[in-house]
């Protein structure tokens, strides 16, 4: 809620007021002014968290065939993908994110980003279109997992709504 409230206050009356979260995130990345940096920090975190919450939930725990085929082609197996995705999250130093992205050639790739960054931004992460994101900031897991980030990542893998991820894959 703080990202929404702060972001709305910061974009009010600016060129960003009627833009999408993606447009604002990309447009304010590498901002040189304090105002633009504040917009970026809030809106990018809002975009990242929207992705994170949207991808979890009941009803989609079985991976749809088309997404599974794409994962198999890119990673060799679903287990290899899960291992790489988990390693991207576990290996992120400090706060950040793990992402599954569709690359321009249609293949899938896993990457990590620091803080509020995401692969939509030039030269950040793998440079693909994110279709699955995992928040590895301590605030996401500390109350239930303390410093056991790997246990949190394992639990997250059981909460992914693969239908949502596949929809993002098909509609990128």
Prediction pTM value? 0.90
Query: What is the reported pLDDT for 59?
Result: 64
Query: What is the reported pLDDT for 107?
Result: 96
Q: Nearest-5° angle of CA 156, CA 158, CA 160?
A: 75
Phi, psi of 85 (to 5 degrees): -65, -45
Structure tokens that stand for 20 in this block:
């999408």
Residue 159 vs residues 62, 104, 113, 165, 169: alpha-carbon distances, Å: 10, 27, 21, 12, 18
Contact 46, 1 (CB under 8 A): no
Contact 46, 120 (CB under 8 A): no
Each residue's pLDDT expressed in tens, for the chain with a length of 172 residues:
899 999 999 999 999 999 999 999 999 988 777 777 889 999 999 999 999 999 998 766 789 999 999 999 999 999 999 999 999 999 999 899 999 999 999 999 999 999 989 999 888 889 899 999 999 988 778 778 888 889 999 999 999 999 999 999 999 8
Query: What is the reported pLDDT for 143?
Result: 76
Query: What is the reported pLDDT for 148?
Result: 85
């Amino acid at each position: 809620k703080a990202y929404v409230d702060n972001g709305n206050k910061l974009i009010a009356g600016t060129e960003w007021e009627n833009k999408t979260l993606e447009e604002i995130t990309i447009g304010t990345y590498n901002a040189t002014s304090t105002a633009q940096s504040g917009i970026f920090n809030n809106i990018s975190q809002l975009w990242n968290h929207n992705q994170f919450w949207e991808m979890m939930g009941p009803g989609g725990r079985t991976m749809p065939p088309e997404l599974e085929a794409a994962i198999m082609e890119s990673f060799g197996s679903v287990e290899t993908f899960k291992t790489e995705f988990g390693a991207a999250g576990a290996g992120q130093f400090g706060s950040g994110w793990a992402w599954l992205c569709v690359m321009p050639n249609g293949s899938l790739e896993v990457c990590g980003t620091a803080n509020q960054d995401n692969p939509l931004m030039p030269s950040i992460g793998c440079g693909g279109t994110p279709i699955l994101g995992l928040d590895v900031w301590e605030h996401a897991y500390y109350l239930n997992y303390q410093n056991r980030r790997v246990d949190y990542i394992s639990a997250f893998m059981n909460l992914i709504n693969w239908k949502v991820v596949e929809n993002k894959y098909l509609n990128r």
